[in-house]
Amino acid sequence: MVPLWMYLAVAAAMFCIGVYGVLARRNAVAILMSVELMLSAVNINLVAFWRYITPENMSGQAFAAFVFVIAAAEAAVGLAIVISIYRSRRSVIVEDVNVLKG
Amino acid sequence: MLELNPQSIAFFILSILTLGGAVGVVTSRNLIHGAVYLIISLFGGAGLFVLLSAPFLAAVQVLVYIGAIAILIIFAVMLTRSMTAMREVFNRQWWSSALVAVLLFALVIGGIVLPLWGPNGVAESQPVSDMVATTVDLGVALVDGDQYVLPFEVASLLLTAAMIGAIVIAREDD
């Protein structure tokens, strides 16, 4: 098979692209998409470690399944918040949402 | 170092899909294009799950991520339509963000690659066995009292709470 480190390298690159998106994008929906990228990269890591190190034990796949649940919940609540903010402020630019800024 | 068999060719094609889609998500000006790139990237991830002999997770990735989350994101983009084509995609700290991302990647890739030159690095980069647990084992593990039944129920509760919360937050006050 393809050596383990290649899967880890792909997942690391995907995670860092997601980090850049979260830090640098201005649109809240784009930030949520970048968070989804990061969660998906984590899942690739979990499944790769499961396949290469403990393939007879289900912990890796079970963890990946829970990450799916968290991703779905996060997307639903995050997009609801974005829509709610857009309704009250007519903007989805995160810099315009600074009520809590000290 | 790496022989060219169908599996490694598939791995490279799927990696290029995954990473290219990810770059498209982060850089695309039009968010609808970004959502399409996200679908491409997640599809590549599902292919990687198939290569890692986790077909159930690949199916869940297609159903949940592509079928539900990506469509939800497209809906959100449409509901916030006037903002899809703004002049500046990135904020003012984009260069320090890029620096942070590149440094993080260098750190992680160092942690991944450097052990390969250790005493048994190359041997450890292959699977310990070809006996792979199946989808049936995953299903049993998720409802087995000794394994993951409690996290499974908590996850169900979390999904219900998130669904109710999303409805309450997004509902129009009148």
Q: Is the distance from CB of A79 to CB of B73 less than 8 angstroms?
A: yes
Interface mutation vs chain A, best among B2, B5, B19, B48, most A CBs within 10 Å: B48
From the CA of A46, how many Å to the nearest CA of chain B? 10
Q: Can you spell out the DSSP letters for B97-161?
A: HHHHHHHHHHHHHHHHHGGGGSTTHHHHTS-S-S----HHHHHHHHH-TTTTHHHHHHHHHHHHH
Interface mutation vs chain A, best among B19, B38, B73, most A CBs within 10 Å: B73
pLDDT tens, per residue, chain A with 102 residues? 788 888 999 999 999 999 999 998 888 888 999 999 999 999 999 999 888 888 888 888 888 989 999 999 999 999 898 888 888 877 778 777 777 776
Q: Is the distance from CB of A56 to CB of B133 less than 8 angstroms?
A: yes
Task: Name residues 22-81 of chain A within 8 A of B (Cβ).
Answer: 23-27, 29-30, 32-34, 36-37, 40, 43-44, 47-48, 50-58, 61-62, 64-66, 68-77, 79-81
Does the beta-carbon distance from B158 to A29 stay under 8 Å?
A: no
Residue B147: CB atoms within 10 A of its CB come to 16
Per-residue pLDDT at A10: 93
What is the tens place of the pLDDT at every residue in B11-70? 999 999 999 999 999 988 888 888 999 999 999 999 999 998 888 999 999 998 888 888
Per-residue pLDDT at B121: 63
Per-residue pLDDT at B62: 92
From the CA of B39, how many Å to the nearest CA of chain A? 10
DSSP character for B87? S
Q: What burial letters (b/e) apply to A30-68, b meaning 16+ CB within 10 Å?
A: bbbbbbbbbbbbbbbbbbbbbbbeebeebebbbbbbbbb
Per-residue pLDDT at B157: 94
Of the partner residues A57, A75, A82, the one whose CB lies closest to the CB of residue B69 = A75
Least confident of A76-80, B5-9, B47-51, B158-162: B5-9
Interface mutation vs chain B, best among A7, A22, A61, A94, most B CBs within 10 Å: A61
Single-letter residue type at B36: V
Q: Note the ipTM here.
A: 0.90
User: CB neighbours of B50 closer than 8 A, spacing ≥ 6?
Assistant: B58
Gyration radius (Cα) of chain A, Å: 17
Q: Which of B152, B45, B26, B125 is nearest to A51 (CA)?
A: B125
Does the beta-carbon distance from B73 to A93 stay under 8 Å?
A: no
Per-residue pLDDT at B174: 61
Q: Which tokens sit at B8?
A: 């490694």
